[in-house]
Structure 1
Amino acid sequence: MTTQEVLAYVKQHPSGKVKIAVTDIDGVLRGKYIAAEKFASAIEGRLAFCDVTFGWDMGDVVYDNVKYTGWHTGYPDALIKIDLSTFRKIPWENDVPFFLGDFIDEQDKPAYTCPRQLLRKVLSDTTQSGFQPFFSQEFEWFNFAETPESIHQKNFHQLTPLSPGMFGYSILRSTLKGDYMSDLFDLLVKFDVPVEGLHTETGPGVYEAAIKYAPVLLAADQAVLFKTAVKEIAYKHGIMATFMAKIHESLPGCSGHVHQSLWDKDAGQNLFYDETDPHKMSALMKSYIAGQLHCLPHILPMIAPTINSYKRLVEGAWAPTTLTWGIDNRTVALRALPGNKKATRLETRVVGSDTNPYLALAACLAAGMYGVKNNLKLEKTATTGNGYKDVSNGILPQNLHEATQQMKQSAIAKELFGAEFVEHFTLTREWEWKQYAKAVTDWELKRYFEII
């Protein structure tokens, strides 16, 4: 739609309001409603959000260790530029107009804390090299027959799954809650988040969805909106959806695998495909994979950002633990999927469903392009069989603290994302680790209460 058409739609919508949203560093969608007349003036300039958006954690507890904002700055406003290209209608809110925004000041300087702007920066570097990246993210998540009130009353224990048993790819279980599954598929598509596939996954009440591939910024927008939209649609059905990476030690984790390829901007050609190669993989694709293998230890907090992320990254749980790649192998970190000239792509399997899609996609793209720009050779042989046993190239950091310290000290991370972003982001991860370190868990009570 043209700007004039968008403005006309906003002006004539009977609600008289517009919904605006941005993401914080954790990928939580933060937003507000504004009057339609205020929107008309805001698109010519800027809209204000308190800059605490990047000064607190996902529980709204303010950081005490970041420089960007805090009590020392007085928490002033940060300016938002509305991106008209993100216009959507929210079908479960009577088609209220919706837009995403970026943190950009009146001199067009982006905030170094803004995840969407970080992805824009990585995208700009990539397009200047002559490539157009196409990405998609797929998600697994748990659904519970609960409400926000009931889960707090139960203290997050003994929750009722949407359906019992494991039942991956179950036609039977998808029929059991068919109205919810149908609403997910239909309303997401109407919300311009095109779903290619939706099915039950292994685990009680677990679903999986694949979002259609798109240019990388649009793919990240779709992924961010997917997660919040699923939660909102679930609310309508008396259901709670969670994208935690690991809900219970006895159950599989929830992935957020990222699929990616580089295309020729002018010719519309998938540059990862090479008809003459025995595996149909181009030299470019091999350098891209080599870049990710090299950079993964330096960027891991961006694709495994929470304490809980590392509970998923354990042996034998359908998530990788080693720095490995392979062809159509689900036990490795990087799963190459060479096939035909349209579908050849790389799947990064380290990524969990708990990620901020802007940061996850920026990390994957920047790491791959590091290999391309430095002409890295894929000297590591493809893993066949059990990738958990192939430690020849090393293993992934095993907790958020270890991963954060490696990223904090990494010259590569600072080269890829800028020193200011790396400092701010790693400080937020150190904060997250500190909150966890002082908590007394159920495991500790059961382990020590009676015996010690």
Structure 2
Amino acid sequence: MPPVKKEVRPSSRAGRVRTPAFIKNLRGVRNWKEASAWLEYRGIEDIECITPDQAGIPRGKMMPSKKFTSNTSLALPSAVFMATISGGYPEDGNGFQYPEDDGDLKLLPDLSTLTVVPWEEDPTAAAICDLVHQDGRSVAFAPRNVLKRVIGAYDKLGLKPVVAPEIEFYLVQKNPDPDYPLTPPVGRSGRAIGGGAGYSIAGVNEFDELIDDIYHFSESQGLEIDTLIHEEGAGQLEINLRHGDPVELADQVFMFKRTIREAALKHEIYATFMAKPIQGQPGSAMHIHQSIIDKKTGRNIFTADDGSETEAFTHFIGGMQKHVPNALAMFAPYVNSYRRLTQGASAPVNTMWGYDNRTTAFRVPRSDPAARRVENRIPSSDANPYLAMAASLACGLIGMKNKAVATPPVVTTANEDQIDLPRGLLEAVDLLEADHELCEMLGNPFTTTYAAIKRAEFETFMEVISPWEREYLLLNV
């Protein structure tokens, strides 16, 4: 029998090699040296360098991790960020001009977003990138840069916005043929999910294993879920995120959408963020809670020293009331989005505000004075989170700058009278282009590009003959 070897432990005086704290970060490092160590520690083989396009779809490149850390120049054609959701391109006009050379734009990885991709079989990481020109200038029409531009306008005034998004989505049966309507999925009970299950724990439990994967994938990426509930629709869920910096939260929504889709596919169903995926069921929203902090004092500028509301609070609401209808193309970016915005439904079609009134567009939830905030209930979950947050915060800032006067708060049902919002995508685009203050705040290169894309998408939609037309026009006209 061989002799038993004693384990030799290093003396406490011997210099132990400590694992640096950043190595254990689930999300983000400070520099390229840390990035190399972080990747090596996890045995990462591939890196996804991604950035959101106008629709919020991840675009980018995949590469070996060694190439990622070797100061490689990453580039994508500018056309990628001028494409419609169907892959087409808009016509020149109304201030938009397609670049003749379709030159490259550079991807600059934001290392604070570096994280693992937990659903990949091979060790993989991802980093969200900013888009810049070859000379280093920020690309004005890139969605992440648009949000940074608005945050910069607050920063010049010594202010810092804080947001908390809530994202609704549906789980549906796989639907490989788009000619067929979407249907609710079958849960663990073996029955198709029905509606009317708002806040039902049993409704959440129908998808226990899928939700466990959502939590697991989210934890692995350092994404923090505040709460998860079952909404009113059949197979409709909602995830609430903790409040924080708008760019960081937009990044999280961007990654959450991808995470939820991947978790659903693992269980052979789809997750969809369409605003109105199933006829007769409620639409899906992306509500945005907003407050503004004075950077010097750290205090909420919506609340005075005695706990009362400030003028900044009412001016912010006044700006929302005036400019949000003109920004609707970013809150409701597709033809389908307007199917959610209907009179008498849960989605607001007004510009009213009220205290804890869910029938108004702008709700002020019950809270301590220090947490006073304004919830924008108009955006749908199909919106690009960077653009929705940028537009919402821009409307409020314009209101504070111009001392916009808010209407009195509504204490009754506000969604059954007139409709204060555009009824369709083209009307919304026209209003955006006519609001010069809003276009300036967001950047004219962005608004002209975005408007051109939306008009092109509408024309593509008009090429499709709907079942309604075949049912009511085929034999009657």
**Do the structures match in fold with TM over 0.5?**
yes
Deviating more after overlay: 47-56 vs 85-94: 85-94
8 Å contact from structure 1 (residues 69, 75) kept in 2: no
Question: Unpaired runs of 5+ in structure 1?
Answer: none
Give per-residue Cα distances to partners, 1:212-263, cap 9 Å, x unaligned: 1111111111111111111111111112000000113311100001111101
Between 23-32 and 305-314, the greater mean CA deviation after superposition: 23-32
Amino acid in structure 2 at the alignment position of 1:130: G
**1:403 equivalenced with 2:431 (yes/no):** no
CA contact (8 A) 2:286 2:377 kept: yes
Alpha-carbon distance, 1:416 to partner: 1.5
**For the residues of structure 1 that align with 2:395 and 2:230, how far apart are their CA atoms?**
32
In the alignment, what sits opposite 2:331? 303
One-letter amino acid of the structure 2 residue matched with residue 263 of structure 1: I
User: Could you tell me which residue of structure 1 aligns to residue 232 of structure 2?
Assistant: 202
- Partner amino acid for 1:90? V
Displacement of 1:37? 2.0
Q: Is the 8 A contact 2:54 2:82 kept in 1?
A: no
User: TM-score, normalized by length of structure 1?
Assistant: 0.92
In the alignment, is the contact (CA less than 8 A) between 2:86 and 2:457 conserved in 1? Answer: no
1:103 is aligned to 131
C-alpha contact 1:130 1:265 (8 A) present in aligned 2: yes
- Look up the match of 2:179: 155
Equivalent residue number for residue 82 of structure 2: 55
1:9 corresponds to which of 17, 38, 59: 38
Shift of the alpha carbon at 1:192? 2.0
Measured after TM superposition, the shift of residue 140 of structure 1 is 0.8
Verify the 8 A CA contact 2:185 2:269 in the aligned structure 1: no
Alignment of 1:153-232 (within 5 A): 153=177, 155-157=179-181, 159-162=183-186, 163-166=192-195, 167-232=197-262
Larger Rg: 2
What is aligned with 1:142?
Answer: 170
Check whether the contact 1:78–1:105 (CA below 8 A) recurs between aligned residues.
Answer: yes
Instruction: Indicate conservation of the 8 Å contact 2:173/2:182, yes or no.
Output: no
Residue 266 of structure 1 aligns to which amino acid in structure 2?
A: K
Aligned with residue 36 of structure 1, among 65, 73, 80: 65
Indicate how the Cα distance of structure 1 residues 221 and 412 shifts in structure 2: closer, same or farther if over 3 A, else same. same
CA shift for structure 1 position 184: 1.2
Normalising by structure 2, what TM-score? 0.87
Closer, same or farther: CA 187–342 of 1 in aligned 2, 3 Å? farther
3-state SS, counterpart of residue 289 of structure 2: strand
User: Structure 1 residues 188-197 or 61-70, which shifts more?
Assistant: 61-70
**Structure 2 residue aligned with 1:117, among 124, 145, 165?**
145
Aligned in 2, Cα 1:189/1:272: closer, same or farther, shift over 3 Å?
Answer: farther
Is the 2:167–2:287 contact (alpha carbons within 8 Å) kept by the matching residues of 1?
yes
> 1:289: how far off?
0.8
How much does 1:274 deviate?
3.4
d(CA) in 1 for partners of 2:232 and 2:268? Answer: 22
Distance 1:49 1:156, change over 3 A: farther
Give the structure 2 partner of residue 376 of structure 1. 404
Q: 2:161 aligns with which of 127, 133, 154?
A: 133
1:229 alignment partner, SS class: helix
Q: In 2, distance between residues paired with 1:192 and 1:134?
A: 19
Q: Deviations over 1:142-199 (max 9, x none)?
A: 10232xxxx1246342534244211111111222221111221232133122110111
State the partner residue of 1:286.
314
Pair 437,41 (structure 1): closer, same or farther in 2 beyond 3 Å: same
Aligned pair count reads: 440
List aligned pairs for 1:270-419, cutoff 5 A.
270-274=300-304, 276=306, 280-378=308-406, 380-389=407-416, 391=418, 395-419=420-444
Which deviates the most, 212-221 or 89-98? 89-98
- Amino acid aligned to 2:379: V
Between 1:158-167 and 1:316-325, the stretch displaced more is: 158-167
- How far apart, CA to CA, are the structure 1 residues paired with 2:96 and 2:423? 29
> In 1, are the aligned partners of 2:343 and 2:416 still within 8 Å (CA)?
no
Q: Secondary structure at the match of 1:33?
A: strand
Select between 91-100 and 61-70 the one with higher mean Cα deviation: 61-70
* Residues 126, 369 of structure 1: 8 Å contact kept: yes
The corresponding residue for 2:450 is 425
Letter in 2 for 1:267: T
Q: Which moved more, 1:19-28 or 1:429-438?
A: 429-438
- 1:237 has 2:263 as partner: no
Identity of aligned residues (%): 28
| Residue identity opposite 2:118 in structure 1 | P
Could you give the per-residue CA deviations for residues 199-218 of structure 1, whole angstroms, max 9, x where no partner exists? 11111111111011111111
The CA deviation at 1:338 is 4.8
Paired residues of 2:146 and 2:443 also in contact (CA < 8 A): no
- Equivalent-residue separation in structure 2 for 1:73 and 1:444 (angstroms): 39
Contact between 1:338 and 1:345, CA under 8 Å: does it hold in 2? no
What is the alpha-carbon distance in structure 1 between the residues aligned to residue 252 and residue 30 of structure 2? Answer: 20
AA partner of residue 257 (structure 1): H
Per the alignment, residue 472 of structure 2 pairs with 447
Is the 1:281–1:338 contact (alpha carbons within 8 Å) kept by the matching residues of 2?
no
- Deviation (angstroms), 1:74: 4.3
SS at the partner of 1:62? coil
The match for 1:21 is 50
Tell me the alpha carbon deviations over residues 11-38 of structure 1, each in whole angstroms, 9 at most, x when there is no partner: 4543421111111111111233111122
SS where residue 299 of structure 1 aligns? helix
Q: Pick closer, same or farther for the CA change 1:87–1:239 going to 2, 3 Å.
A: same
> Aligned-pair distance for 1:68?
6.8
- CA shift, 1:366, in A, is 0.8
User: What is the rounded CA distance, in whole Å, between the counterparts of 1:62 and 1:14 in structure 2?
Assistant: 40
Asked whether the equivalents of residues 109 and 128 of structure 2 are also in contact (C-alpha less than 8 Å), the reply is yes
Q: Secondary structure at the match of 1:85?
A: helix
> Secondary structure of 1:91's partner?
coil
What secondary structure is seen at the aligned counterpart in 1 of 2:229? strand
Distance between the aligned counterparts of 1:160 and 1:270, measured in 2?
Answer: 42
